[in-house]
Structure 1
Amino acid sequence: MEYPGNLFVVAAPSGAGKSSLVKALLELDAKLSVSISHTSRAPRGQEQHGREYWFISPDEFRAKVQRGEFFEWAEVHGNLYGTSRGAIEARMIQGEDVVLEIDYQGALQIKDIFPYAVLIFILPPSWDELQQRLIRRGDTQTEVIAQRMHNARHEVAQAQHFDFVVINALFETALFDLKSIVHAQRLKYASQRRNRSNVFRALDLIED
């Protein structure tokens, strides 16, 4: 089913800058809202329940899976992450554009369920730069960084299945590219016909 609102799904390997780019995009675009995912992991740093994630126990998470409450879910780095189907659909039915930050597994699941979703993959400019970004975080152990670099090799290969790829070498350029994708999606014929129906009627492109 196609909804009035658009769904943008952004994925990337850990350290590529996905969260920072999405946060900056939301500050620039008042028409976009972010969907808060559920996770079984503990909060990190200043993260708060209901802001970055809904933090729940592994048992609570699996119960939601059994009830079919998630649009998609996946295990990433040993933790469970999932997206509430009802929350997203309610927003899109109202015409809101929603952006999701999830891993590639969840993104591909959503594309199967909702083919109109726009999938965007964020790439680092190089392996060395990705590793340096993980180190600069300062809160990740050496063995964890090594595991994430190993996982990134597989994750980056999945970019071929996405609609758009943004290379985050220079943050400002990557943000411009991300914003351009959102704007272009809104200018597609189907979106314009749906959201600017008064113009289309005036031009006899829609019959009353």
Structure 2
Amino acid sequence: MAGNLFIVSAPSGAGKTTLVKMLLERDSGIRLSVSTTTRAPRPGEVNGREYHFVDAPVFLARREHAWIEQQMAAGQDILLEIDWQGAQQVRQLFPGSIGIFILPPSLEELERRLRGRGQDNAEIIARRTAAALDEMRHVREFDYVIINNKLPEAIEDLQTVVRSVRLRTASQLDRHRALFAFLEQDT
């Protein structure tokens, strides 16, 4: 039985982290793959929650995709919360992965959200907005797009994507082998 690999990407301020957290709370059948990094933890980050913080030799020795392959082979759905560049790399390793891109409803709303965080000055917000525009240009590289205008609708859309992938014929054939084997005997 094979699980699905979901990749969720978004520009800063689109609500990706909030949506992913809500999805994981509502769907016990999906697990978050925690990425590994060599950078130091930021304030409030916990090793093993946001990232696995390791030194360079450990980083080089680890092969994150081996864990993903093991989990998927056991039928577990996996979610990666990564940027568009990481999504490109993962999709080369896992061509059957499902790419989901989260967008804000407008550039004005994106800027409002970034300002509303109260963490950054005007110069940093301008840089983040420019970076977000660059990221949003890659939206066509994804299978699904969710506009995060109203949070309840956006989480429903994300759950619908997950459900629809699980209902694909290939997924159903894999999950219900005995039934399909019986049906094939009659043909």
- After superposition, where does 1:34-183 map in structure 2 within 5 Å? 34-57=32-55, 60=56, 64-65=59-60, 67=61, 69-70=62-63, 84-183=64-163
Whole-angstrom CA distance in 1 between matches of 2:21 and 2:42: 17
Q: 2: CA distance between counterparts of 1:202 and 1:10?
A: 37
Cα drift, residue 43 of structure 1: 3.1
- Kindly indicate whether residue 28 of structure 2 is the aligned counterpart of residue 33 of structure 1: no
For 1:110, what is the secondary structure of its paired residue? Answer: helix
Q: Is residue 36–residue 59 contact of structure 2 (8 Å, CA) maintained in 1?
A: no
Cα deviation, residue 166, structure 1: 0.4
Cα offset, 1:206, TM superposition: 9.6
Counterpart CA distance in 1 for 2:52 and 2:116 is: 26
How many positions carry a matched residue from both structures? 187
Deviation for aligned residue 1:38: 1.7
| Structure 2 residue matching 1:98: 3-state secondary structure | strand
Larger proportion of strand = 1
Bigger RCO (CA 8 Å, 6+ sep): 2
Percentage identity across aligned positions?
A: 44
Residues 43, 192 of structure 1: alpha-carbon distance in 2 compared, 3 angstrom cutoff: same
**Using the alignment, how far apart are the partners of 1:151 and 1:8 within structure 2?**
23
Q: Distance in 1 between matches of 2:111 and 2:105?
A: 11
TM-score, length basis structure 1: 0.83
Please say if residues 200 and 206 of structure 1, whose CA atoms lie closer than 8 Å, have aligned partners that are also in contact. Answer: no
Cα distance 1:8–1:206, how it changes in 2: closer, same or farther (>3 A)? farther
Unaligned runs of 5+ in 2: none
In 1, distance between residues paired with 2:107 and 2:9? 17
Aligned to 2:3: 5
Structure with greater helix percent: 2
Q: Deviations over 1:86-139 (max 9, x none)?
A: 221121111100000000001011112211000000001111111111111122
Q: Which runs of 5+ in 1 are unaligned?
A: 71-83
Offset of residue 53 of structure 1? 1.2
Shift of residue 41, structure 1, vs aligned partner: 3.8
1:14 match: 12
CA distance in 1, matches of 2:105, 2:86: 23
Query: Relative to 1, partners in 2 of residues 1:40 and 1:192: Cα closer, same or farther, differing over 3 Å?
Result: same
| Aligned-pair Cα RMSD in Å | 2.0
- Pair 85,146 (structure 1): closer, same or farther in 2 beyond 3 Å: same
Distance 1:41 1:141, change over 3 A: farther
> In structure 2, how many angstroms separate the alpha carbons of the residues matched to 1:141 and 1:41?
23
